[in-house]
Chain A
Amino acid sequence: MDTTQADDAREAEFNAIIDADGRIEPRDWMPEQYRRTLIRQIAQHAHSEIIGMQPEGNWITRAPSLKRKAILMAKVQDEAGHGMYLYSAAETLGVSRDELLDLLHAGKQKYSSIFNYPTLTWADIGAIGWLVDGAAITNQVPLCRCSYGPYGRAMVRICKEESFHQRQGFELLLTLSRGSEAQKAMAQDAVDRWWYPSLAMFGPPDDASTHTEQSMRWGIKRFTNDELRQKFVDMTVPQSEVLGLRLPDPDLRWNAERGHYDFTQPDFDELFRVIKGDGPCNRQRMAHKVAAHENGAWVREAAEAYAAKRSAEQEVAA
């Protein structure tokens, strides 16, 4: 058989697995575009977890109670762990974590635009847990059934840990909204600032989204951006009522005919601007990440040098 026929046979097998809702594993043949799409998606997901450590880590040293401090440290630690699971999944596709970090640091791979917003008050930590993690969970649960095995399995592990994150954010805001006038105002102010950026996390509207169809065909994406955004709104509105906090959308209302909430779309021009680099914290997030990496170079090199010395000794001894 010549290579074209061999390729066709492999592609047919690949498609058969996808159509049967099976899983593609690391050593399977896969179309180059499938591999590239996955590498980019998984890597950007991993980068998002890592960059996300910054806005939340911003309040660790100022947490107003020891219990909250412990919860926040554990949450940020979880995010580091999630980044690790995802880099591991990406590495099964033939790329190294170091290469991915180089692309992040050079601005050639992105991270979720939500993390380009600043955490200005303690209540922002609650808003991130409730809204941002809520949106992330809405996105992530379907990914547990992604066609690529390692990514789906990483997502299962992540989703198990993520549920505590959203609950702690909700509970933090509940405590504030039942607290003093100043605390309640702090909570409302945070929700006012984080609502629309959270809606924008689901990406551009379906009619402006270029990759959705191919990703859905390949089982990488299970629902469209608009479907997920609607799902998030429907889930969140009743929660806001329990919180006694107002979502900053005067046109938000239940539509009995549709069986969903009508809501105002986020400003997608703002989303594109932030993605391109013009968000409040883009420069700061990148500078912080690059500095940590560069400041740590001597440490990483030392560990490599030590390991090399020890294995050289072992060779001599053997």
Chain B
Amino acid sequence: MNELATYALRLGDDALILSHRLGEWIAAAPQLEEDIALANIALDLLGQARTLLTYAGEVEGAGRDEDALAYRRDEREFVNCQLAELPNGDFGVTMARQLAFASYQYELYDRLRTSQDATLAAIAGKAVKEVAYHRDHAAQWVLRLGDGTDESHRRMQSGLEEIWPFVDELFEPDELTGRLAAAGIAVDPAALREPWDSYVGAVIARATLSVPQPVFRGRGGRQGIHTEAMGHLLAQMQHLHRAHPGASW
């Protein structure tokens, strides 16, 4: 797969896998209003995934459509960041993951709007409005959980600790992003770290929480190295589609 297609696939896999995780919250959220909010976010992300995967398939030019890419690749061919595939945990873990990821997507799409690739620019133009809302939703919850009750403070801090080892990977550049960013097509992930730290740090401070200092760092998602959770996620997601090869749904 060529580099542009791979880049689109990374963005698409991020959205696809996180959307899947959020879908698991439907009918299990703490309040009905939150079932609706999380479903909204999941649907936005799925929409992003579908356009990005479709584009990746077109650029690749091997006849793979969104479903071929979503349902017929194996674990080692997925190039999402590991943060996206983490199990939901409790609402504190999920909101921590949302704060980290939506803030990353916001900075990314905000800059991708001016990509030299017209399709990526258009996708980013639409997506940035959606993720601005996702980021705000996460921030509102991190504030309330961090500065709510003793129990919620403990759980929210714990949620941050759980996901923080997977933050660095979001901002790791590699040769592919280097070349594409130089061509004005992709966004250099490293450039996103500072504005991300600024926004997320401010939310965490206001929420009376502290920024974790993890020893362990997750890495390798862009090379198809995932956590053990990924295999189970894909087994569930893909099994019906794969059980009926060639079928239309």
Stretch from A105-113, A275-283, A290-298 contacting the other chain: A290-298
Cβ-based interface call for B138 (8 A): no
In the assembled complex, the Cα of A81 lies from the Cα of B143 at a distance in Å of: 26
27 contacts between A and B (CB under 8 A): A53-B35, A57-B26, A61-B236, A64-B240, A65-B67, A66-B46, A67-B50, A70-B47, A77-B35, A77-B39, A80-B35, A80-B39, A87-B32, A180-B244, A180-B247, A182-B244, A291-B28, A292-B28, A295-B30, A296-B29, A298-B152, A299-B31, A300-B31, A302-B145, A302-B149, A303-B148, A304-B148
In the assembled complex, the Cα of A182 lies from the Cα of B244 at a distance in Å of: 8
Mark out the residues of chain B between 80 and 103 whose CB falls within 8 Å of any chain A CB in the assembled complex: 90-91
Residues of A within 8 A of B23 (CB): 60-61, 69, 73
In the assembled complex, the Cα of A295 lies from the Cα of B23 at a distance in Å of: 17
Closest A residue, CB atoms, query B54: A66
**Residue pair B36, A298 in contact (C-beta under 8 Å):** no
Closest 4 CB pairs of A and B: A296-B30, A302-B148, A302-B152, A77-B39
Binary CB contact string for chain B from 28 to 62 against chain A (1 if under 8 A, 0 otherwise): 11111111100110110011011001000000000
Mark out the residues of chain A between 56 and 86 whose CB falls within 8 Å of any chain B CB in the assembled complex: 57, 60-70, 73-74, 76-77, 80-81, 83-84
Residues of A within 8 A of B144 (CB): 302-303, 306
Cβ-based interface call for A122 (8 A): yes
**Residue pair A65, B31 in contact (C-beta under 8 Å):** no
Q: From known contacts A62-B239, A84-B33, infer whether A298 and B155 are also in contact, taking CB-CB under 8 Å.
A: yes
Partner of B67 from A60, A66, A84 at Cβ < 8 Å: A66
Cβ-based interface call for B20 (8 A): yes
Cβ-based interface call for B237 (8 A): yes
Q: From known contacts A64-B71, A64-B249, infer whether A77 and B40 are also in contact, taking CB-CB under 8 Å.
A: yes
**Residue pair B26, A73 in contact (C-beta under 8 Å):** yes
Residues of A within 8 A of B228 (CB): none
Binary CB contact string for chain A from 283 to 318 against chain B (1 if under 8 A, 0 otherwise): 000001001100111111111111001000000000
Cβ-based interface call for B122 (8 A): no
Q: From known contacts A65-B241, A73-B23, infer whether A305 and B152 are also in contact, taking CB-CB under 8 Å.
A: yes
Mark out the residues of chain A between 166 and 187 whose CB falls within 8 Å of any chain B CB in the assembled complex: 172, 175-176, 179-180, 182-183
In the assembled complex, the Cα of A305 lies from the Cα of B148 at a distance in Å of: 5
Cβ-based interface call for B66 (8 A): yes
B-side interface mostly = helix
**Residue pair A70, B50 in contact (C-beta under 8 Å):** yes
**Residue pair B244, A84 in contact (C-beta under 8 Å):** no
Q: Which residues of B contact A (CB under 8 A)?
A: 16, 20, 23-24, 26-36, 39-40, 42-43, 46-47, 49-50, 53, 66-67, 70-71, 90-91, 143-145, 147-149, 151-152, 155, 236-237, 239-241, 244, 246-249
Closest B residue, CB atoms, query A296: B30
Residues of A within 8 A of B237 (CB): 61-62
B196 CB, nearest partner CB in chain A, Å = 24
B66 CB, nearest partner CB in chain A, Å = 5
**Residue pair A73, B46 in contact (C-beta under 8 Å):** yes
In the assembled complex, the Cα of A183 lies from the Cα of B247 at a distance in Å of: 8
**Residue pair B249, A57 in contact (C-beta under 8 Å):** no
> A80-B39, A299-B34 given. 8 additional CB < 8 A pairs?
A60-B26, A67-B249, A73-B26, A175-B248, A183-B244, A298-B151, A300-B30, A309-B147
Q: From known contacts A57-B26, A296-B30, infer whether A306 and B148 are also in contact, taking CB-CB under 8 Å.
A: yes
Partner of A76 from B39, B46, B248 at Cβ < 8 Å: B39
Interface size, A (range): 35 or more
**Residue pair A77, B26 in contact (C-beta under 8 Å):** yes
In the assembled complex, the Cα of A81 lies from the Cα of B26 at a distance in Å of: 12
**Residue pair B30, A53 in contact (C-beta under 8 Å):** no
Closest A residue, CB atoms, query B23: A60
Residues of B within 8 A of A122 (CB): 240, 249
B212 CB, nearest partner CB in chain A, Å = 20
Most buried by B among A64, A76, A77, A87: A64
A71 CB, nearest partner CB in chain B, Å = 10
Closest B residue, CB atoms, query A303: B144
**Residue pair B91, A299 in contact (C-beta under 8 Å):** yes
Cβ-based interface call for A144 (8 A): no
B226 CB, nearest partner CB in chain A, Å = 17
Closest A residue, CB atoms, query B241: A64
Most buried by A among B27, B28, B70, B144: B27
Binary CB contact string for chain A from 4 to 40 against chain B (1 if under 8 A, 0 otherwise): 0000000000000000000000000000000000000
Residues of A within 8 A of B40 (CB): 77
Residues of B within 8 A of A301 (CB): 148-149, 151-152
Cβ-based interface call for A50 (8 A): yes
Cβ-based interface call for A54 (8 A): yes
B144 CB, nearest partner CB in chain A, Å = 4
Partner of B66 from A61, A66, A80 at Cβ < 8 Å: A66
In the assembled complex, the Cα of A69 lies from the Cα of B249 at a distance in Å of: 11
In the assembled complex, the Cα of A63 lies from the Cα of B66 at a distance in Å of: 14
Binary CB contact string for chain A from 42 to 55 against chain B (1 if under 8 A, 0 otherwise): 00000000100110
